[in-house]
Structures are given as structure tokens and as C-alpha cells.
Structure 1
Amino acid sequence: MSFFAILLALMLDQARPLGRDNPVYEAMRGWARWTRQTLDAGQTHHGWLAWWLAVAAPALGAMAVYWALWAIHGLLAFAWMTLALYFTLGFRQFSHHFTAIRVALESGDEAGARAALARWKGADVADGPREEFLRQVIEHSVLAAHRHVFGVLVCFVVFAALGLGPAGAVMYRMAEHLSRRWAAQSADEHSDASRQAARGGWHAVDFLPVRATALAFAVVGNFEEAIANWRQERMASPSNDGLLLAATAGAMNVRLGGQSAAAGGPDWPGSDQRAPQLAHLASAVGLVWRSVVLWLLLLALGMLARFW
């Protein structure tokens, strides 16, 4: 059931992508805003209470609906899983930004590409060397692919295997939303308690998914260099994002950032010979799609093994 739910959700996302202002996302933002305003009184435990309620309540609600529908008919439960995945996955929510940047660069409109990246990131993109700009595009694209596709899939599969339906996908999407919204707001609006809880909670929720994504990139890319970079970044920094970028750099044979490099630490092996080029954007697309195919293949094999 999980395999077909994922496949159908991905097809729906490609055929009819969701807008950023749809009612479900508005409800999610309103719920997160209400929990923070109501429960965050400035103490550390208040911040964690607000975070737990904001994340757990939607996940438990999705699980309860799944169980209720399963008691009525399995097809209703399947439809609910597919719908939940459709709203938590977001392949087209980032791919059109990437496509706009790539088309602008291929047509020679670097200013337009920089403007497109600024709109995507929601922040100004500093003028600098072309290689630095391409590095930012690749990094932001890889992180977006993980957070909108692979991270959701990992949590969904794990929780669905435990009989919890789409609870994992909902939990991951809420935790990722809080990590962006709560951390981005200034200290004048709210206390630091919920901001720190959002960061710590997101690191814990994303711990397993980011490593699963990094491993998938290594399998479909340059495995040896991806694992070597992974080990070096792990010793230099505990950052989930840095680990994923390190594995991606090795898998694509391109120099990217990472926490250790940003802090002035040692570069990954051979990074001086791997400056980002325009062709690496196509390599990034190929890496993501091969990883999607790998995931679907593994799920299909698991389904066949179950019914063997």
C-alpha cells in the first residue's frame, strides 16, 4: 500500500502541483503560530511544549483518521495516505525554481538567474564569482529536494511500516516548517525558547532521514568519494545539512560548502579540482531522479518480498 500511495502522490504532484497558499498550508501556519503564541512563555520547557504540541497533534490526528478509515475499508485508508503524502511532498514546489535558474543561465541571463535564486531563498544573493553562485544553487537545490521529497518519504515509510499511516510524513513536514518559521522570526516577536526547541527538534527528526538521503546519493553517484566526504564532515561538524552536502559533493564530484569548510576547516579530498560548472546543474537533477527511482525500486522489492 505504501508503494502505490507514494507513486500516486508523486504523479498527482507532477500533474497538479500545490500552490504555497493552499488552505492546508494556511492551516498549518496558523496552527504553528497559535501554539507558539499560546504556550511559549519564555522558559525552555515552554518552548519544547509548544514544539511538541505543534508537531505531535497533526501527526496523531493523521494517524487517528487513518485508523478510523481502515476500520471502515482499506481503500479509504489508502486514499487518506495518498492525500496526506500529496500535501506533505512537494517536488514541484522547488523544481520550478531550479528550472527557472537553469534556463536563465543557459540563455546567458546570469542577473535573472541570481534574481530567481533570491526569490527562492527569500533573501538577497550577493554578487560574486559565477562558481560561488553555482555552488549556492546546487546546495539549495539538494537541501530542498531532501526536505520536500526524500525526508518525507523516509519518515512516511518508517511510520507506515509500524502501522501508523501517514503520521511520519505529517510529523516531518511540521518539524521542517517550524525549523524555518520559528528560527527566522526576530527575538522581538517571541522568546528564544521556541526558537531553540525548533532547531533542536528539527535536528532530531531529520537525523535518520538526512543520512538515508546521503546514502542514496552515494549509491547512485560516486560512492567512495561520497562516503569519504561523509566521514570527514561527521568528524568536523554534527550538522545534518553539512553531512548531506558533503555526501552530495562526493557523489557529484563537485566542490560544495559544508559546515567544516564554512568554518575554515579542511576541505574534502580533491575539492580543489571540482569547481562547480553549469553542467553540474544537470548532474544534480540526475542525482535526484536516480535517487527517486532507487527509493521506488526498494519499496517495490519490499512489497514483492512481503507477498512472496
Structure 2
Amino acid sequence: MSFLVLVLILWVEQFSAWRHRLQRDGFFLAELARLERRGRVSADWSLVLLVLAPVLLLALLLYVLQPVAYGLLALPVHLLVLLYSLGRGDTKAALGPFRDAWRRGDEQAALHVAERDLGLAADDPRDLLVRVQGNLLWQAYQSFFAVIFWYVLLGPAAALGYRLLALSAAHAHQPALKARAVQLRHLMDWLPVRVLALSFALVGNFVAVTRVMLHELLNWHLSAGQLIARVGRVADDIPQQEEAQSALARLDSLWELLLRSAVLWYAGFALWTVLL
């Protein structure tokens, strides 16, 4: 059933806007703000209430539904939870205003748009392009690949847990709560980001990626965003110094690298499903 859900996810993403209608975080963010205002609840207990409790309730619901009608009642729950757990917004579309400004040669507007739409800032335009390339890789990873990885490995409850941790890390204002959410998300990112990096080796520059991974494979302190940005650039053979317009065009080639990796993952999941 998991592979069927993954195929349905692609269909829904391509032909409907269900994900954007379903991804309403108001209730979760209100609960997060309420727990922070109370101040008496520790960071660990806050995450238990915000993340672990919904995950356990979902796991219990699926345990009850799974034996009913050969699991058909569990199918829509899988689909809805996975849709909710995917990333927010449209990663590629968000780059549109930045690309338009850069093509016009208006570097000041490009800097402003990158800060407004992508949350990226840089003093040097070339450094900004590198940051935008890394941001594309990171957003694609955390929006899709990490969620799919945990869904296939441990089911929809794990995918939901990843997204709730990501929301907690992004929106928490209490330092202790934010730090613990970031720490736990780093733990959940450690394995899937390395699997994606190895996928880049298979669909990109194998030698360059393996050279990087030999040094960084077990590096616990390297963040997922830093690793995927570095590996993605070497997988796509992006030089350190490049013409501005060529560097902008690299956004399309990086997106194609991500698409090839997604096809590889789906082929692997299909083979795993057949063998099991």
C-alpha cells in the first residue's frame, strides 16, 4: 500500500491543490504559542505534547483501521497524512521573482527578493547565487525526500513526526524549546540526507560525490543543509567560480538532478515492494 500512496502523491501534486488546502498549521502553531506563554512546561514535555502525542494517536488509529476491509480504510489516512507532512509552499515557483530580477541584471532587486522570499542574505551577488542553489537543494530535501524516506521506513506516523518537529524548530521562540526541536530534527535528518547524497552519486558525478562523502559520511556536526548543498553542487559539476548567468542556469540543472534522484528512489521503492 505504501508504494500506491507514493504514486497517488505524485498524481495529487501534479493535478490538484489538495496539499495547499490541507496544510493548515494554525491549530498547531496556536498550541505551540500557548505552551510557550505558560512557561512552566519544559522543552521536552512541550515536544511530547506537540509531536509525540499526535504521532502516537495516529499510530493507534492506523493500528485500529489496518485490519478493516483489508486496509482500505487506512489508505486515505496514509494519503492525507503524507500530504500534510510534505513541505510548505512551492520550492521551484518561489525562485521565480529572484530569477526574473537576476536576468534583468538588477542585482539590488535580486538581493531584496532573495531576502524577502527565501530568507537569504549575502553581501556579494555571486555568494548569493551559491546560497540560492543550496537553498533549492535543502528545500527539495526537507519538503519531499526526508518525508518520503521516513514514510517508507516507518510509516505515516514517522513522516508526521518529522514535519511537526520541523514546524516546532521553525516557529518556536523559547530558546530551550527551539534548541531541542532543532537537535531532534538534526537526528532525523542524519540518515535520509546521506541516502540522498549517495543518490546524487548515482545520478551525478560519482567520483566527486564519493570523495566528499568519504570525509563527511559520519560527521555528526555537519548540518543536513550544509551537506546537501555541498554534495549537490559537486554532483552537478558546479565550479567554484562561474559566470553569473551560468550560475543562474544551474538552478535548472540542480532541479533535474533532484528529479533523477526522485526517479531513482521510486524505482528502488518499487523493487523493494516487489521483493517483499
Instruction: Please report the TM-score for the alignment, with normalisation by the length of structure 2.
Output: 0.86
Q: Which residue of 2 aligns with 1:221?
A: 204
Amino acid at match of 1:177: L
Instruction: Specify the SS of the correspondent of 1:93.
Output: coil
Amino acid at match of 1:72: V
Q: Is 1:283 paired with 2:257? A: no
Unaligned residue ranges in structure 2 (runs of 5+)? none
Shift of 1:139: 0.8
Instruction: Specify the SS of the correspondent of 1:254.
Output: coil
Amino acid at match of 1:63: A
Counterpart CA distance in 1 for 2:150 and 2:23 is 23
CA contact (8 A) 1:254 1:274 kept: no
Within a 5 Å distance, the mapping from 1:287-302 to structure 2 comes to 287-302=257-272
Q: Which residue of 1 aligns with 2:223?
A: 239
Match of 2:162 among 147, 159, 172: 172
Q: Is 1:34 paired with 2:34? A: yes
Shift of 1:108: 4.7
Shift of 1:210: 1.4
Within a 5 Å distance, the mapping from 1:37-56 to structure 2 comes to 37-38=37-38, 40-41=39-40, 46-56=42-52
Counterpart CA distance in 2 for 1:213 and 1:64 is 30
Q: How many aligned positions are there? A: 273
Q: Which residue of 2 aligns with 1:250?
A: 234
Q: Which residue of 2 aligns with 1:151?
A: 146
Q: How big is each residue's C-alpha offset from its partner over 1:151-184, in whole Å with a ceiling of 9 and x where there is no partner?
A: 0011111113xxxxx10110110111112112xx
Q: Which residue of 1 aligns with 2:68?
A: 72
Q: How big is each residue's C-alpha offset from its partner over 1:254-293, in whole Å with a ceiling of 9 and x where there is no partner?
A: 25xxxxxxxxxxxxxxx46798712211111101111111
CA 1:231–1:302: 2 relative to 1, 3 Å? same
Counterpart CA distance in 2 for 1:203 and 1:92 is 22
Shift of 1:127: 4.8
CA 1:36–1:154: 2 relative to 1, 3 Å? farther
Q: How big is each residue's C-alpha offset from its partner over 1:31-50, in whole Å with a ceiling of 9 and x where there is no partner?
A: 33334444x538xxx21221
Q: Which residue of 2 aligns with 1:119?
A: 116
CA 1:233–1:120: 2 relative to 1, 3 Å? farther
Q: Which residue of 2 aligns with 1:205?
A: 188
Identity fraction in percent: 27
Counterpart CA distance in 2 for 1:108 and 1:68 is 58
CA contact (8 A) 1:252 1:284 kept: yes
Shift of 1:81: 0.5
Q: How big is each residue's C-alpha offset from its partner over 1:108-166, in whole Å with a ceiling of 9 and x where there is no partner?
A: 5555544442232346x34523x222111111111100110000011111113xxxxx1
CA contact (8 A) 2:20 2:89 kept: no
